[in-house]
Structure 1
Amino acid sequence: MKSHILTAAIAAAAIAPVSARATDLTFASSLPQVHFWVGGFMDPFADVMEDSADVTFTRFYAGEITSVGRELDALTGGVVDAVAPLLAPYHEGAFPLTDVTQLPTIGTSSVEQTEAFLDLMASDVELADGKTFYEYEIGSKDIHAWPVAATAAYSISLAGMEPASADALSGIPLRSGSALHTVFLEELGVTPVTMSAAASYEALARGTIKGTILSVGDWKSYSLQDVLSYTITGVAVGHWGSYLAISDAAWSDLSDAERETWTETAHEIARQNAEGIDRQEGEVRQASEADGGVFVDVADIPADLRSRIEQASVNTWTRWIEETESAGHPGLETARLWAELTRKHGGALPEGVEAYLQSRD
């Protein structure tokens, strides 16, 4: 997929002096090309860079040279020069603040939360020790990073059941893909089962788990539309945030013009990727509904189940903040900043979150 981006940075790169040789970078993903972060971000980004700068990429996909949760090691160990996406939530303890994007929200989309994520990475608000979000999360890791598009809203999806009450969910096993999703599922009263999305198809088909927390558009990458039959919409169990990242060593090989082009291209492709993710969300939902899949807005589910989801959403914010603070990280200030950016871009917070944030003054 070729991009039509025309930015000042790219134009500047086009007239910059040509170096003696092109910089060839090893660019890898732990995910397959069908995934929206690979076919919709990694490849278009690389295509534009190759067209606009004296840079070429040798591309690897689907974990050929780096696997999920090992992207940072591959970068700092010199195995690869760049990765997309660096799946921050799978790097346990390494990116303590990035999970903030997974906090529950109301009425948010990929486009909205991608803009919020871009603002978060660019923010000059000091969160702790004089450090901004970017400086705290990225600055000491010998890499440079930019947001890929945020996923669409993560939803509660079930296989072969339609809960008639909150008690119907009590104790059932649901797939969790991150520490924060585990917190939400615990607060919901179900049994979290940690596994990657790629492993969940077989577990759902066998009945080992009864559902998952995942964006609907993500089903396409794992054929989950074949096994998931009931989804609660209208409340987002957050949006997964991850990064395009390049090692410091590879970054130093780029010219100033190439670095400017890289940054501008990353931002533009993230925005285009977000639009594509929202489209894919609608397409996968439409196809599922045509095959009998049921999608119910949270406002239309049984009152006690709605109340439990709403309370679990608020409790997830409070637990994440308190546990992050207990670990020595600025959870409260990060959550406040994310709440502000979410509202700025048209999203809403679960009722009770704002009161909690204000009560901590």
Structure 2
Amino acid sequence: MKMVIAATTAALTAGAAGCSGGEGGSGHGEGTLVMGDSFSLTHPIGSNGTEQFIEGLETRGGDVGLDLQYFASGQLGKQWDMPTVVRTGVADISVISPSYVASEMPLSSVGDLAGLVEDACVASYALKDLMFEGGILYEEEFKPLNIRPLWIGVIPAYEAMTSERPVAVPGDLEGTVQRSTGGAQDRIVDAVGAAGVAMPIGDLYEALTRGTVEGTVASPVSITPYGLHEVIGHSTKGANLGSFTVVYSINEDTWQSLEEDQRALITELAEKSQQSLCEGLNQSVEDSYREMEKENVSFTDVSEDPEAWDALLEPTRQNWVDDLEKMGKPAGQVLEEFEAALEKHAHRAERTTP
């Protein structure tokens, strides 16, 4: 198999425009899949999941007539562009982050709500029940966009982090300007009385340095890959302010055009990527805490006296339900099914193999 990484965006876009009929499969060369990613292969999401998928296709794709072109680090578009990128066939496979596309996929950010997720494996398999074919999120949001999920990752352990201001209780953030991923995370920022600014985490280093924002709600996993532990001075530990979901997905028309043995290989590799990713993200939480401590980030452990933070959690979840149900979305049912799925998969926190 020949794998091409990081070709030019302009060339790919021009090729897609010439081969694709718009909505539907990409029409790229026969047997060639184009994959667009928001992350690099050095990011924990890439090194623990995407890289395994790519290597599997590189090793075994030729046996079933599959080739891959991979475009990392937002070459095909920003995180909020990804549903359009895969739906219109610019890419066959792409990563979707529900928090960045809340207007298109509001229900799929259920996994990002505060106070629900403690383990990446438990959460990703719980979401798989809802997002794969037959699940409520598949029927409500993925199927209408002509998108089929392949594997899911969840970055856990979101905390309140600031550049200069110590933070121990929610009131310490009142009146500050905080970066947010959007979606469910906006509700936590609002609940603490801060002003939220939506921006990709890749822009946060400069924003903190310039004082454009004073902090962020984020996981340690998302801090160290961007060098943010150099400019963050304070963080809670144990507040459990939410998570970040990523869904690697394939265009449905592309999927249907594949041969049975090709779909079987992609499914097998995706399943392995989901497991390796969740294990890697769990480990990355601990590794990232250690890296941040080396940079003298000051942590306030709130787990022994969590009442002030816990008081935020249930109301923000209920507000999410209420707001979406006013729009005619079955948010209450989605939250109920997700909580049940978390219970169903609780044993996965103790497993290292699928």
TM-score by length of 2: 0.82
1:246 alignment counterpart: 250
Higher mean displacement: 199-208 or 164-173: 164-173
Sequence identity, in percent?
A: 22
Alignment counterpart, residue 69 of structure 1, candidates 43, 56, 80: 80
Whether the 8 Å contact between 1:48 and 1:265 is mirrored in structure 2 is yes
Higher mean displacement: 236-245 or 46-55: 46-55
1:323 alignment counterpart: 323
2:226 alignment counterpart: 222
Whether the 8 Å contact between 1:25 and 1:81 is mirrored in structure 2 is yes
> Secondary structure in 2 aligned to 1:235?
coil
Partners of 1:167 and 1:184 lie apart in 2 by 12
2:302 alignment counterpart: 298
Whether the 8 Å contact between 2:150 and 2:247 is mirrored in structure 1 is yes
Letter in 2 for 1:113: A
How much has 1:70 moved relative to structure 2? Answer: 1.0
Structure 1 gap ranges (5+): 1-20, 126-131, 348-361
Letter in 2 for 1:343: E
What RMSD in Å do the two structures reach over aligned CA positions? Answer: 2.2
Alignment counterpart, residue 199 of structure 1, candidates 173, 179, 203: 203
1:91 alignment counterpart: 101
> Secondary structure in 2 aligned to 1:105?
coil
Partners of 1:257 and 1:23 lie apart in 2 by 12
Residues 202, 218 of structure 1: CA spacing in aligned structure 2 closer, same or farther, 3 A cutoff? same
How much has 1:148 moved relative to structure 2? Answer: 2.4
1:45 alignment counterpart: 53
Whether the 8 Å contact between 1:232 and 1:298 is mirrored in structure 2 is yes
Letter in 2 for 1:228: I
Detail structure 1 runs of 4+ shifted over 6 Å in the superposition: none
2:259 alignment counterpart: 255
1:356 alignment counterpart: none
1:30 alignment counterpart: 38
2:70 alignment counterpart: 59
Structure 2 gap ranges (5+): 1-28, 348-354
CA-to-partner distance for each residue in 1:262-288, whole Å, 9 max, x for gaps?
123212211101111122221121122
Whether the 8 Å contact between 1:117 and 1:147 is mirrored in structure 2 is no
Whether the 8 Å contact between 1:30 and 1:62 is mirrored in structure 2 is yes
CA-to-partner distance for each residue in 1:79-108, whole Å, 9 max, x for gaps?
11111x222322242112111001112670
Whether the 8 Å contact between 1:176 and 1:194 is mirrored in structure 2 is yes
Partners of 2:307 and 2:78 lie apart in 1 by 39
How much has 1:143 moved relative to structure 2? Answer: 2.0
> Secondary structure in 1 aligned to 2:89?
coil
Whether the 8 Å contact between 1:106 and 1:235 is mirrored in structure 2 is no
Letter in 2 for 1:197: I
Alignment counterpart, residue 89 of structure 2, candidates 78, 99, 121: 78
> Secondary structure in 1 aligned to 2:265?
helix
Partners of 2:192 and 2:249 lie apart in 1 by 34
How much has 1:300 moved relative to structure 2? Answer: 4.3
Partners of 1:270 and 1:27 lie apart in 2 by 17
Q: Does 1:144 align with 2:148?
A: yes
Partners of 2:131 and 2:170 lie apart in 1 by 38
Partners of 1:248 and 1:111 lie apart in 2 by 26
CA-to-partner distance for each residue in 1:256-315, whole Å, 9 max, x for gaps?
1221221232122111011111222211211221232222322346xxxx4442222111
Letter in 1 for 2:39: L
Letter in 1 for 2:345: H
Residues 47, 27 of structure 1: CA spacing in aligned structure 2 closer, same or farther, 3 A cutoff? same
Partners of 1:92 and 1:108 lie apart in 2 by 23
Residues 164, 134 of structure 1: CA spacing in aligned structure 2 closer, same or farther, 3 A cutoff? closer
Letter in 2 for 1:329: K
Residues 166, 155 of structure 1: CA spacing in aligned structure 2 closer, same or farther, 3 A cutoff? closer
Letter in 2 for 1:94: E
Whether the 8 Å contact between 1:37 and 1:148 is mirrored in structure 2 is no
Whether the 8 Å contact between 1:176 and 1:193 is mirrored in structure 2 is yes
How much has 1:122 moved relative to structure 2? Answer: 4.3
Letter in 2 for 1:117: L
Whether the 8 Å contact between 2:235 and 2:298 is mirrored in structure 1 is yes
Residues 299, 180 of structure 1: CA spacing in aligned structure 2 closer, same or farther, 3 A cutoff? same
How much has 1:165 moved relative to structure 2? Answer: 5.1
How much has 1:166 moved relative to structure 2? Answer: 4.5
How much has 1:223 moved relative to structure 2? Answer: 0.9
Letter in 1 for 2:124: T
Partners of 1:166 and 1:76 lie apart in 2 by 40
Residues 193, 51 of structure 1: CA spacing in aligned structure 2 closer, same or farther, 3 A cutoff? same
Residues 253, 47 of structure 1: CA spacing in aligned structure 2 closer, same or farther, 3 A cutoff? farther
How much has 1:202 moved relative to structure 2? Answer: 1.1
Partners of 2:321 and 2:204 lie apart in 1 by 29
Partners of 1:172 and 1:59 lie apart in 2 by 39
